[in-house]
Amino acid sequence: MVVTALTPYIGYEKAAQVAKKAYKEDRSVKEILLEKKLLSRNLVNKIFDFKSMTKLKR
């Protein structure tokens, strides 16, 4: 799980809670975020866009 990317948006505590719930219920972090309405679908997709996350910025 890539929960570290969430901390600037929802903070460490909430990110940890989301990760634990996702693990415990065998669900995705995205599902939990959207279910709890912590972030919009667009922002969740932006945060978990792994191409931009790993892209070199020059």
Spatial contact of 9 and 39, defined as CB atoms under 8 Å apart: yes
- The strand ranges marked E within the chain are none
Measured CA to CA, the distance from residue 22 to residue 57 in angstroms comes to: 31
Using one digit for the tens of pLDDT, what is the confidence trace for 14-45? 999 999 999 999 999 999 999 999 999 999 99
Which domains are delineated in the chain? 4-54 (1.10.40.30)
* pTM of the predicted structure, to 2 decimals: 0.81
- Residue 58: the pLDDT is 65
Spatial contact of 38 and 10, defined as CB atoms under 8 Å apart: yes
Measured CA to CA, the distance from residue 31 to residue 12 in angstroms comes to: 18
Encoded tokens for 33: 């975020």
